[in-house]
Each structure stands twice: as structure tokens, then as C-alpha cells.
Structure 1
Amino acid sequence: MSGTKTSFLLTGATGYIGGAILARFLAHPKAHTFQFTVLVRDPAKAEKFEALGVKAVVGSHSDAHLVEKLASEADVVIAAADCDDLGAATATLAGLRKRHALGVVPIFINTSGTGVISDEAKGAFAGDLVYDDSDVKQIQSIAPTQMHRNVDLAITEADVEGYVKTYIVLPSTIYGIATGQFVDAGIQNPHSLQIPALISAALDRGRAGMVGEGKNLWPNVEIHELADLYAILYDNIVENADLGHGWNGFYFGASGEHSLLDVGKAIGEALVALGKSDNPEPTTFSQEELGKYFGGSYLGSNSRCRATRSLSIGWKPTKTTSDMLASIRPEVEALIHKKAKVAA
């Protein structure tokens, strides 16, 4: 690493995952040896980051030249913005290639997602195929046409070329309302995507819903425990010279598993308790509703995995699916409050 501090570039710092990762690293025992730079679009949020001791650059992830420049100045890049942004990944890798030319072997920790192993169940069945992050051949067998896969492959190929060590974290359904200094400062989104999307749809239609019969299965992970995985992975990277990377650097972020029906029932129960529905049982989304609320039947897929490699490096999540289901009512309450505030 260069100089007296390790230079980090973090993308997605105002987002749900990125903000949680940044907060976790700034609470690290060695945080005084870290220098973080974040890339943000909003100048006002950039000023708030600076006030909290984080260097902020105003710009867009679509500005390839800027992303490349910032990556070329970083010892470590943690990408937590858009896992399908191949342009940003390509620019990041170009910058890290330049960093390598200076005699540094940079680290790239990218955020993907277990959507890469999803199927087309449409809620009709619980899939039997379970992916294990320690099974390299199985990870390599994932079709290049799967979502997120083109970015994952480009990053892994860069590791094969040898100018960067790459690691890919694949979160599952993330839940829980994020907390911390960046949420308090109004610069981090505290909410996830999947479950809040289901809640928003339920509030709009007055009834909880599901894709098909809701039999499909997904893993889940709590937001702060997911952030722990990034910090633990980083510690392992710098402390264990034998730690694998590239194809041996895939890490599932998953600690529980749920069916879409379970989530639908929990949303339905919360709606009834809060006077927003008269029936707790979820009903099947129509094709029109799937297009309106979600742009398709993606949430009806199976995405099953085991986080064997993640657990092997010392990640110890304690939250379970029961915690995930218990987190749904607070999410419903938060969204109702938000809608009321907007209406007012």
C-alpha cells in the first residue's frame, strides 16, 4: 500500500449497501490508517461527507475518465453502486491497471448479487439447486447470460491477467433499516430494494402479493451483518497471503432462507395490523401488476446458496429468517410514514 495510509475508493456511498460498508470501515480498529474517497453526484452530500472526514468527489459513475482517474489513485476499490454497470467496472479496471504499473497490486472488492444464480420459477416451485461459494467449478458454470454475470466475468478476467486481485461479494435479499452517522446526516439511503418494493406494491393494491404461488426460495442477510462481511474479507486479504482471489474470491452474503409466500404473509399481517388491508393472506400478482410494480417476475425466482467461503474467513452472522420477517413491520411503518409525509 502507498504512503502511510491505505487509499480506498468507494462507490455507492450514499446507497443502502455502500453507506453501511463505509460506516463499518470507519469503525474499524485501523480506521486511522485508511483514507477513503467517495464519488457522489450531489454537491450538498459531498459537503456532508467532507464534514465527517471523508474525501468526496462530485461526479457520476458514467464519467469513465473520472472513475478511471480515481481508481488509479486507490490501493483498494470497493464498488457498491450498480452491479450491472459494466462501463463503470471497465473504467475502474483501467484505473487499477495504471495503479499496478506503479508497482502496487491493487485490490478490487466488487458487489454483485445472488440474482446471478436465479432461475425462472415464477413462484411455482422451490428449486433444488443450491450454489456453494467454495465450489469453484460450480461458480464457473454460471451462464454468462445471467444478470450481473457480464460484470463479474470482466472483473474475474482482470484477476486472471494478474494486474489486480479481485473479490466479489454476492449479497442476497438484504433487510433491515440501516442506521449510523450517514443515515443520521441524511446522506445514506436507509432502505433496501426487494422487500420495500413488495411493501409499496401491497400498499398500492391494498393487499399483500406474491409471484405465482410464492413457493420460490431466496437467501437473506441483515444489512449491518453484510457490512461486516466486507470488513472481515478485507482483513483476511491483507493478513493472509494465501487467501484465494479471482475465481477463488466469490463470497455469498447469506445467513437465512425464506419463501416469497413467507414474506407476503408477513407484509399482509403488518398491513392488517396497521389498518391498510382487511385480509393478511397474499394474493398472486397479475401480469399487469408484475409489470407495473417490478418490471417482470424476477421476484418469483429461486436463488439458493451456501456461504461456505464467507463463513470460513470468520464471518459470523447471527440474524436468522425470523429476524428478517420481524423487520417487515418496521419497514411497512416507515413507508407509510414516508408516503404521508410526501402527501402532506
Structure 2
Amino acid sequence: MSTTKILITGVTGYIGGSVLGRLLVHPESKSFEIVALVRSAEKAAKISTLGVKTVLGDYDNLALLTELASNADVVFEIVDCDRLPPNEALIQGAKQRFEATGKAPILIHTVPFIMDDAHGLHGNHKVYSDLQSDEIEALPDTALHRNVDLAYLKADKEGFAKAYFITPGTVWGLAKGPLVDLGVQHNQSIQIPYLLKASIARKKAGYIGLGKNIWPIVSNADTADLHLTVFNAIRKNPETVGHGRDGFYFAENGEYIAYEASEAAGKALKELGIADSEEITPFSEEEALKYFGPYWFAFATNSLARGERSRAVGWKPVNGKDDFLASIKPEIVEILKASPQK
């Protein structure tokens, strides 16, 4: 059995660690040579016990990124969808790999959904399907994350790499797996916990604007599964798996209105004794700035999408909206463990 050299970034992160966990129990894992880029020597030592080769470094070391990618058949990029230089360094490494082997390496890049600037005032937004390549390609170059996407698309078009984009909505749920057990992986996402931390701090659940904005949902487990589904499909029959402009794979299994998540948070805060009532109220602009920073409006956007291409390659998500709303209370409990309330 030939060896597949895999580079994965973001293994201590919420999604990256879950993807690595699945690679470690893959039926063909004995044929994988996995290299993980890790910033912490202490975490690297723990991850090494899983049979993963770790390299100390970060996304500021562009030369190292290029070198690592130049030795990989497959790159899972699960760290930064906004900074162009590190991603260009990985792409340059892929080009060197192609020049050395004559075979285009696989680049699997994780990037969030298309969003608007609704400020929580409405739920009106175009619904995108990941099968609508023309409409995705027509997005303006100024769209969020688009500059990095374009670099991967250019590499694919030039033929020295095959680019695939895993594109999740609101990723939720406490991560589980060997890296969580080792204490090296973040087990919570950003989007929902931000809302919950703010609600805990003010002792009352809140929402932005009117709370009418809508987002797709996908569990951490289903998101990691999609990475592996695409990876497996490429290995089995690469000619049937869309890449480049046809390589967007949306991760969604239902959707929620922001107000609904806040209602679930209000109920949980009351049950946990953090709030006096289940009442939810809008964040003032001052609170939005305080709790979410200058880009607070990003937490009140719309993003509507359908993962039809994802399902066509065999992805079968199992966690839906009821599971998402039920996850709010455990998320709050986890936050309270880290920062007990006085």
C-alpha cells in the first residue's frame, strides 16, 4: 500500500482537531503519514503520542509552510481563511510538489459561508446552493474571505493543485475525540459561545438588532465528517469529485433564527441560576461593542445555503435544529467551568 503524505493545520482548533481525530481512525490510517503544524511545544509532545509527526511553527513562518506543503500529497488547511500570505505559502508548496512529482496535490481549505450585513434586522438573503458554481464564481472579489478563495481557485485553474472548499455555517456542539481527551483541542466554537458569554456577563440572554437574521447550522461532528467524506471520495474516484470552481462543499443541516438561539440561552440561564428570568433583550450598541468588538455586526448577518454537492458525494449529516437548540445549555455549562460566576 502506497503512503499518502498529509499535512494538517489547526489541529488544536475546534474543527481541525476533530478532522485529525477521524484521520487517526480511518480504515487506511496505516498508509497515512500525517504531519501537523503546532505552535505549542507542550501540545506538540502530547499530539505526537497519537502517532502524528508534529512540527513547531505558526502561520507567520511562510518559508516553513511552503516547505511542509511541498512534501504533502494532501493539505488540510483549517486555520485561517482571511490571511492571504500563509495560504499563498501553502499553495507555493503545492506547486513545488507538483513540479517534483508531476501529480497535482490536493488542497482542502475550510472557509465560512457567504454572508450579508443585515445587522439582525431581517432574514432576507439569497439562498446559495453549492451546486451553483456560476453564482459562487460571480461573488465580488471584495467579499469576505474571497481573496484567499481566489488564490486557491487560481492554483486549481493553472493545474498544479486541486482545490476543494469545505464551507460550514454556524458550527456548534462540544467537540469530542482524542485531542480533546489530551487537553490540546479547543472544544467550543466561536460564534455561539460569543453570544453566550455576553449573555452570561449581563445575566440576561440577548440578541442584536431584532434577532431576525438566519444562519445554517452544522454540528462539529458533521463538519469533520464532511472533510473526510470529500477526502474519501477524492481517493476513491477523483474524476467524479468537483474541484476548483466546482469544488465548494457547503456544510449545513437546517437553519436557525438568531432570536431562537437567544430564547434557548434565556431558558438555560434561568435554569442554571445565572438569570432571574428567561426574558431576552436586545444588546445596546454599547453592549455590542463591549462584548463583540468593532465587528459586532458580523454576529448579526444572514447566510443561507444548501449543501447539495456535499450530499451528492455521500455526506450524511445527522444532527439537526432540535439538537442545536438542546446544545445551548451544555455550551453554557462548559463556559461556566472555565469562568465560574461569583
Q: Tell me, which stretches of 5 or more residues in structure 1 are unaligned?
A: none
SS of the equivalent of 2:339 reads: helix
Work out the CA distance in 2 between the residues paired with 1:195 and 1:59: 29
Residue identity opposite 2:169 in structure 1: S
SS of the equivalent of 1:297 reads: helix
Deviation at 1:163, TM superposition (A): 0.4
- Tell me the equivalent position of 2:334: 334
Work out the CA distance in 1 between the residues paired with 2:11 and 2:308: 28
1:201 to 198, 202, 225: 198
Deviation at 1:80, TM superposition (A): 0.5
The reply to whether residue 136 of structure 1 matches residue 133 of structure 2 is: yes
Deviation at 1:279, TM superposition (A): 2.4
- Tell me the equivalent position of 2:219: 222
CA offset digits 1:88-116 (Å, max 9, x no partner): 100000000000001221000000011xx
Deviation at 1:326, TM superposition (A): 0.3
SS of the equivalent of 1:82 reads: coil
Work out the CA distance in 1 between the residues paired with 2:139 and 2:289: 27
- Tell me the equivalent position of 1:304: 304
Work out the CA distance in 2 between the residues paired with 1:9 and 1:85: 19
Deviation at 1:85, TM superposition (A): 2.0
The reply to whether residue 176 of structure 1 matches residue 156 of structure 2 is: no
Q: Map of 1:143-292 to 2, 5 A cutoff?
A: 143-240=140-237, 241-292=239-290
Q: Tell me, which stretches of 5 or more residues in structure 2 are unaligned?
A: none
Aligned-pair identity (%)? 42
Q: Is the 8 A contact 1:21 1:227 kept in 2?
A: yes
Paired residues in the alignment total 338
1:36 to 34, 47, 55: 34
SS of the equivalent of 2:276 reads: coil
SS of the equivalent of 2:33 reads: strand
| Deviating 4+ runs (over 3 angstroms) | none
Work out the CA distance in 2 between the residues paired with 1:143 and 1:281: 40
Deviation at 1:162, TM superposition (A): 0.7
Aligned-pair Cα RMSD in Å: 1.2
- Tell me the equivalent position of 1:24: 22
- Tell me the equivalent position of 2:120: 123
Work out the CA distance in 2 between the residues paired with 1:193 and 1:86: 21
Work out the CA distance in 2 between the residues paired with 1:205 and 1:305: 32
Q: Is the 8 A contact 2:241 2:313 kept in 1?
A: no
Work out the CA distance in 2 between the residues paired with 1:20 and 1:257: 22
CA offset digits 1:132-157 (Å, max 9, x no partner): 10011111122221211111111111
CA offset digits 1:244-298 (Å, max 9, x no partner): 2100000111111001000100111100000101122321111112112212211
Residue identity opposite 2:42 in structure 1: A
- Tell me the equivalent position of 2:74: 76
Q: Is the 8 A contact 1:10 1:37 kept in 2?
A: yes
Work out the CA distance in 2 between the residues paired with 1:59 and 1:148: 23
- Tell me the equivalent position of 1:324: 324
CA offset digits 1:61-83 (Å, max 9, x no partner): 11000000000000000000111
Work out the CA distance in 2 between the residues paired with 1:211 and 1:105: 45
SS of the equivalent of 2:116 reads: coil
Deviation at 1:242, TM superposition (A): 2.8
Which segment is superposed worse, 287-296 or 4-13?
287-296
Q: Is the 8 A contact 1:216 1:301 kept in 2?
A: yes
SS of the equivalent of 1:16 reads: coil
Work out the CA distance in 2 between the residues paired with 1:230 and 1:284: 36
